[in-house]
Copies of this chain bind each other. A is one copy, B any other.
Amino acid sequence: MDTQREGKFERILDGAINAFAESGFHQCPVSRIAQLAGVAEGTIYLYFKNKEEVLIRIFQERMGAFTAKMRLELAREETIEAHLRTIVRTHFSYMEQNRSLAIVTQLELRQSNPRIRLAISGPLLEYYHLIEGVIKQGIEHEEVPQTDLRVARQMIFGALDAATTDWVMARNPWTLVSGVEPMVTLFEGALRLNRPN
């Protein structure tokens, strides 16, 4: 019973991700979500308060899983270089393996609707904290010079985000992970790692 309920919840979430990826949150009729999820339209309202909540839960559930994975991967490494590489690699490979989620994340992350913004901000802030934590650790270990944490995080997140958006938008997408090394190199330079003396 409970697994069936959960199964349907997940199916709707997946259907919504694909539906939103297809045409965007506002363009996408609830009927399309239902169709892709293989449930009736009304069923969606047994699991979600409304269409808006479906979008919100996508971020909470799926971005949450992404951040959890990121935290796990980071915990496996010690050095700041490894941490930076982990961030880039995990970000790119996760998005590459979840293209529809990437599309939704990249495109619908930016919502002027304040209710949605607020609900999205949670998982996003958590990710921001992870990135800032890595930088902070580098500074504390005196491997990275004093830097404005927010600006550094904006650079890292922004770079990953722009790369992902480029990849999502491209008609014939290259592999995203091919950008890992160049990106890591840029980050290392920006944070003054690996420099002679």
Given contacts A162-B158, A169-B117, A189-B189, contact A21 B179 (CB under 8 A): no
Known A-B contacts A189-B189, A189-B192; the reply to A179 vs B111 at CB < 8 A is no
Stretch at the interface among A8-16, A35-43, A70-78, A180-188: A180-188
Is A49 on the interface with B (CB-CB < 8 A)?
A: no
Instruction: Please state if B112 and A151 are interface contacts (CB–CB under 8 Å).
Output: no
Contact with B along A43-60 (1 / 0, CB 8 A): 000000000000000000
Which residues of A17-49 are within 8 A (CB) of B?
A: 20-24, 26-27
Q: Do B154 and A166 have beta carbons less than 8 Å apart?
A: yes
Q: Range of interface residues on chain A?
A: 35 or more
B-chain residues with CB within 8 Å of residue A197 when the two chains form the complex: 196
The 9 closest A-B pairs by CB, nearest first: A158-B162, A158-B158, A24-B112, A26-B26, A155-B159, A190-B190, A148-B182, A151-B182, A158-B159
A residues sitting closer than 8 Å to B (CB atoms) are 20-24, 26-27, 103, 106-113, 117, 147-148, 150-152, 154-155, 157-163, 165-166, 169, 179, 182-183, 185-187, 189-192, 195-197
